[in-house]
Chain A
Amino acid sequence: DTAVSQTPKYLVTQMGNDKSIKCEQNLGHDTMYWYKQDSKKFLKIMFSYNNKELIINETVPNRFSPKSPDKAHLNLHINSLELGDSAVYFCASSLGGRGHTEAFFGQGTRLTVV
């Protein structure tokens, strides 16, 4: 019973392609996130949705577009992939915006752009 699941786990693609990563959570949470972990293991937030509404949109290129069809799903679509997009992308979820709740993370999607 995976709480936060991402697909695919690995993604290798050529520059210029368009790709999507899917995320689903079965925890009943109402807030979901995308984080990017670079090669130095730094974690940086990209987007967050609360009840399907975009609430955090960090300085991310327009080529990245999140979509939340419902509270349990948050997908990430990336257009015109570049070498610098290679990273591990983590989906996470939490219960609301109240500060004391912890986030649960998926296993990550390792994206390699060649």
Chain B
Amino acid sequence: AQSVAQPEDQVNVAEGNPLTVKCTYSVSGNPYLFWYVQYPNRGLQFLLKYITGDNLVKGSYGFEAEFNKSQTSFHLKKPSALVSDSALYFCAVRDSGTYKYIFGTGTRLKVLA
């Protein structure tokens, strides 16, 4: 069965420092991986996705993610964090041919001024 794991409930980082939010996945076929962000009392907003090709994927708001097949990871990164990046981040996987998006448990990112 497909699954994703986000090992950190919370990540704290100082403003201006690089940030990483971790995600590992388990799928039976080709992985399609996504990152979403949720601000308080809002829906999920799509940030970026990995389908195939270049292992470094660039997305919205300066975020990028690195796909690593051997480590089955898809970590979210940003070179310089902003206080406004503070939110709940979800990694998701969708196995090829299925309709279901399976989400991780979420990681709360707190960027400190």
C-alpha spacing A103/B100, complex, angstroms: 10
Query: Which residues of chain B have C-beta atoms less than 8 A from A92's C-beta?
Result: 44, 101
> By the criterion CB–CB under 8 Å, are B99 and A102 in contact?
no
Q: Is the CB–CB distance between B100 and A43 below 8 Å?
A: no
The range of chain A's interface size is 20 to 34
What sequence of 0s and 1s flags, for each residue 38-80 of chain B, a beta carbon within 8 Å of any chain A beta carbon?
1001111110010100000000000000000000000000000
The interface stretch among A60-68, A77-85, A105-113 is A105-113
The answer, among A48, A50, A99, for a CB contact under 8 Å with B97, is A99
Give chain A interface residues in 81-104, CB to chain B under 8 Å: 90, 92, 94, 97-100, 102-104
Which of B41, B94, B103 contacts A99 (CB under 8 A)? Answer: B94
Q: Hey, which bits of chain B sit against chain A, CB under 8 A?
A: 30, 32, 34, 36, 38, 41-46, 49, 51, 88, 90, 94-103, 105-106
- In the complex, which of the residues A92, A99, A103 has the most CB atoms of chain B within 10 Å of its own CB atom? A99
Q: Which residue of B lies closest to A100 (CB)?
A: B51
Q: A31-B99, A50-B99 are in contact. Are A99 and B32 (CB under 8 A)?
A: yes
A45 at the interface (CB under 8 A from B): yes
Q: Report the tally of A-B residue pairs with Cβ distances under 8 A.
A: 64
Residues of A within 8 A of B (CB): 4, 31, 33, 40-43, 45, 48, 50, 55-56, 90, 92, 94, 97-100, 102-108
The answer for the CA separation of A40 and B106 in the assembled complex, in Å, is 9
Report chain B residues within 8 Å CB of A107.
Answer: 42-43
| B90→A43 contact, CB < 8 A | yes
A105→B95 contact, CB < 8 A: no
Name the B residues within 8 Å of A102 (CB-CB): 34, 46, 49
Alpha-carbon distance A105/B45, docked complex (angstroms): 7
Task: Give chain A nearest CB distance to B9 CB in angstroms.
Answer: 10
